[in-house]
């Protein structure tokens, strides 16, 4: 088993239960010194894709899952890691019981572009399902997004 930090749609425990049925939620916490952003607008079918970048004054809410090897392979497929769209990186998560060394996915594309409104809604709903603080969820819902019909 290995610890994985979800910050996007995988924050939703129900979604992760379907994608990784043998990998339980362990805890939630914060990636301190990182910021949620978007990039690869030309790579996604519906606008820019979520990612994280280092930022000394920001933090990102995450859910930490204990992922089996089999589920990790499945998750790599969901996140297009085998194509190089996302790469894995090690990060430290601050939790109520201390720091954890975990891995997460980072988009291998330039930062910039806007996500679609529907994608941003999925991310906000996932954060809400993971019990992210209300102000974090509200900030996600207020982010700029692509208008429909583009």
Q: Where are the domains of the chain?
A: 2-142
pTM above 0.85, yes or no: yes
pLDDT (tens digit per residue) in 82-108:
888 899 999 999 999 999 999 999 999
pLDDT (tens digit per residue) in 33-54:
999 999 988 776 778 999 999 9
Q: Which two tokens stand for residue 22?
A: 């043998």
Q: For the chain, what percent of residues have pLDDT higher than 90?
A: 81
SS3 68: coil
Q: Active-site residues: which are they?
A: 79
pLDDT of residue 150: 45
- The sign one gets for the Cα dihedral 132, 42, 106, 83 is positive
DSSP summary character for residue 31: E
pLDDT higher for 45 or 132? 132
Q: Which residues are annotated as a binding site for substrate?
A: 4-9, 119
CATH second-level architecture of 2-142? Answer: Roll (3.10)
Interatomic CA distance for residues 144 and 150, integer angstroms? 15
Q: Which residues are annotated as a binding site?
A: 4-9, 119
pLDDT of residue 22: 96
Q: How many CA atoms lie within 13 A of 71 on its CB side?
A: 20
């Amino acid at each position: 088993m290995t610890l994985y930090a979800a910050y996007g749609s995988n924050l939703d425990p129900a979604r992760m239960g379907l994608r990784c049925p043998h990998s339980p939620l362990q805890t939630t916490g914060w990636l301190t010194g990182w910021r949620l952003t978007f990039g690869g607008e030309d790579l996604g079918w519906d606008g820019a894709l979520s990612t994280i970048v280092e930022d000394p004054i920001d933090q990102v809410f995450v859910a930490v899952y204990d992922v089996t090897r089999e589920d990790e392979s499945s998750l790599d497929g969901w996140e297009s890691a085998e194509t190089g769209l996302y790469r894995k990186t090690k990060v430290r998560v601050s939790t109520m019981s201390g720091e954890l060394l975990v891995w997460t996915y980072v988009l291998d594309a330039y930062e910039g572009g806007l996500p679609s409104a529907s994608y941003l809604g999925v991310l906000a709903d996932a954060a809400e399902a993971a019990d992210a603080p209300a102000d974090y969820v509200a900030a996600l819902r207020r982010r700029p997004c692509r208008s429909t019909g583009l």
